[in-house]
Structure 1
Amino acid sequence: MTVELLTRGVAIETNQLVPQPPAGTDVFGRIGTLETRLARSSREIDAAQAVRYRVFVEEMGAQLPAEAMRRQRDFDAFDDICDHLLVLDHAIEGDIEDQIVGTYRLLRQEVAMAHGGFYSSSEFDLAPLLARHSGKQFMELGRSCVLPDYRTKRTVELLWLGNWAYALKHGMDAMFGCASFPGIDPQEHALALSFLHHNSQVKDEWMVSALPELYKNMNMVPAEEINPRQALSAMPPLVKGYLRLGAMIGDGAVVDQAFNTTDVLIVLPIAVISGRYINHFGADAGRFAS
């Protein structure tokens, strides 16, 4: 489950990014006092899990396992095999761990396959997709969240810069991951989900569907009855951001009772990412990647 709605009102637009620090550092980029890089220690991962707890549980009402609730950390077994992308604000006084304001969890295919598969496979049937693209490398985006005071264009842009640079650094061909609508009643999002079904659903070699036993029909409103402007305004901002990048949406939604969300699968081949974002971040992320 990825809470893509959390950076409300954010669009991923061009912003002035300062040059990347000298080669040899692990920083992907900086804007003002904000910086994006991978977590460097178990303490930083623990702090990212605390940020996730504050957002998913305290703000959105997720019900985690008892140990996670006791520790006030959102964690699972995937944390041990993922890389954790961070956004830090160095203007915050205190330890580095206190400066973490946003995070994404990144999982490369070679790592996932060595440890039992991807997180999203618990909701979506990924096997046919991966089999059709046996020569490509996928990466999974998950557990994205940003603290309320940092749900701004700059923070989201840095997270995407980190994802982009990471994907290029590791030779990834496509990204995917769950994106979430609030609540467990898909009918509450009938307009937005139907718009995605009619206009952005995966096709042909990129086809992927929700698991049959979890499948929720997204086709609830006929195409001719949909007002596109209204449908887009009803979507979580980062779902719209994914669409601007050229993303497609899997067939069928899934209700995640534990996280109190309705999930769709985002599929984003690197080759189709919108040209203006490639121009901004750089075709090889050379301005930003370490």
Structure 2
Amino acid sequence: MQLDHHHYKQRDNKSITVTLANNNDQIRAAQALRYRVFAEEMQARLNTKEPGIDQDLFDAYCDHLIAQDEQTGEVIGTYRILPPHQARKVGSYYSDTEFDLTRLQHIRSQLVELGRTCVHPQYRNGGTIAMLWAALTQYMLRHNYQYMMGCASVPLSDGGHTAASLYRKMATESMAPIEWRVFPRCPLPMTSFDTKLEIATPALIKGYLRAGAMVCGEPAWDPDFNTADFLMLLPTQCINKRYASHFKR
């Protein structure tokens, strides 16, 4: 399936196009960007088979959404999308490795997973994220999928206090109903942290929440990435109307 090409001109006159990757070269460029961001910038321990390429068993089953600089052709942003029929083929979602998703069993046939999200440092702004979201929304609407989920990661470089404070904030304002609660397989020891820090919500999580997403429970600890991962769930019908009109352009 092809998406409409989404075009965006940034303030510095860089023009961005967002679409689904349609060949292996584009997918490899996205995987190279992922390696640069996750391994080189975030110091994640990736189990790579090939130098400079972030790839795992889920990639072959996913659609790869890519943002490209029109002038250079460089892939500067990506989302990995795992639709439900492909999750059945591979045997699970990536999130199943981090969380017990039993309470989401009844919606799995309509559940799309987003993952491996990253943007090149020079293009990290609201415009790039909005472009990616516009294409994601179009993807969901074309297939009539009802739910998006994804792990939103927060670095543990401060020992975990920021992640714990963020969870306290989201649990108060944006917690999913109990029937959609998930349980981390490797939980953060929340009682060990200062949960009262005044923190700014990270841009990606803020984007999820503004669109109408909920956090489905306590975060999981990902030791390879050294992050706290929050499972976010967004019912398509709940996409905030203010944002839906923007995303659907």
- TM-score, reference length from structure 1: 0.77
C-alpha distance after superposition, 1:55-107 (max 9, x if no partner): 00111101112524xx2111101110000000011122xxx4xx110000001
Instruction: State the 1:198 CA deviation.
Output: 2.4
Q: Which residue of 2 aligns with 1:7?
A: none
Q: Which residue of 1 aligns with 2:90?
A: 115
Instruction: State the 1:115 CA deviation.
Output: 1.6
Contact 1:28–1:161 (8 Å) recurs in 2: no
Instruction: State the 1:25 CA deviation.
Output: 6.4
Measured on the aligned residues, the alpha-carbon RMSD in Å equals 2.1
Q: Letter of the 1:79 partner, please give it.
A: D
Map 1:56-75; keep pairs closer than 5 Å: 56-68=38-50, 71-75=51-55
C-alpha distance after superposition, 1:13-68 (max 9, x if no partner): xxxxxxxxxxx964341113211000011111111100001100111101112524
Q: Which residue of 1 aligns with 2:12?
A: none
Counterpart selection for 2:56 from 66, 69, 76: 76
| Uncovered stretches (5+) of structure 1, i.e. residues with no partner | 1-23
Given the alignment of the two structures, is residue 187 of structure 1 paired with residue 161 of structure 2, yes or no?
yes
Contact 2:64–2:79 (8 Å) recurs in 1: yes
Q: Which residue of 1 aligns with 2:116?
A: 143
Q: Letter of the 2:235 partner, please give it.
A: P
Q: Letter of the 2:44 partner, please give it.
A: A
Q: Which residue of 2 aligns with 1:249?
A: 215
Identity of aligned pairs, percent? Answer: 38
User: 2:175 and 2:194 mapped to 1: Cα distance?
Assistant: 15
Instruction: State the 1:260 CA deviation.
Output: 2.0
Q: Which residue of 2 aligns with 1:203?
A: 177
Contact 2:64–2:81 (8 Å) recurs in 1: yes
| Uncovered stretches (5+) of structure 2, i.e. residues with no partner | 10-14
User: 1:117 and 1:145 mapped to 2: Cα distance?
Assistant: 22
User: 2:99 and 2:68 mapped to 1: Cα distance?
Assistant: 32
Counterpart selection for 1:162 from 124, 135, 140: 135
User: 1:245 and 1:162 mapped to 2: Cα distance?
Assistant: 14
Q: Which residue of 1 aligns with 2:77?
A: 102
User: 1:107 and 1:237 mapped to 2: Cα distance?
Assistant: 22
User: 1:217 and 1:203 mapped to 2: Cα distance?
Assistant: 22
User: 1:25 and 1:79 mapped to 2: Cα distance?
Assistant: 18
Q: CA separation of 1:176/1:273 partners in 2, compared to 1, >3 Å: closer, same or farther? A: same
C-alpha distance after superposition, 1:175-220 (max 9, x if no partner): 0010000126433433212111222221133222223xx1225576
Instruction: State the 1:281 CA deviation.
Output: 2.7
Contact 2:110–2:145 (8 Å) recurs in 1: yes
Q: CA separation of 1:58/1:165 partners in 2, compared to 1, >3 Å: closer, same or farther? A: same
Counterpart selection for 2:234 from 258, 268, 271: 268
User: 1:149 and 1:281 mapped to 2: Cα distance?
Assistant: 23
Map 1:37-56; keep pairs closer than 5 Å: 37-56=19-38
Counterpart selection for 1:216 from 175, 181, 188: 188
Instruction: State the 1:153 CA deviation.
Output: 1.6
Contact 2:2–2:20 (8 Å) recurs in 1: no
Contact 2:111–2:146 (8 Å) recurs in 1: yes
Instruction: State the 1:128 CA deviation.
Output: 2.4
Q: Letter of the 1:187 partner, please give it.
A: H
Matched pairs, number: 242
SS at match of 2:49: helix
Q: Which residue of 2 aligns with 1:31?
A: 8
Q: Letter of the 1:159 partner, please give it.
A: L
Q: Which residue of 1 aligns with 2:65?
A: 85
Q: Which has the higher contact order (CA 8 A, sep 6+)?
A: 1
SS at match of 1:55: helix
User: 1:36 and 1:240 mapped to 2: Cα distance?
Assistant: 21
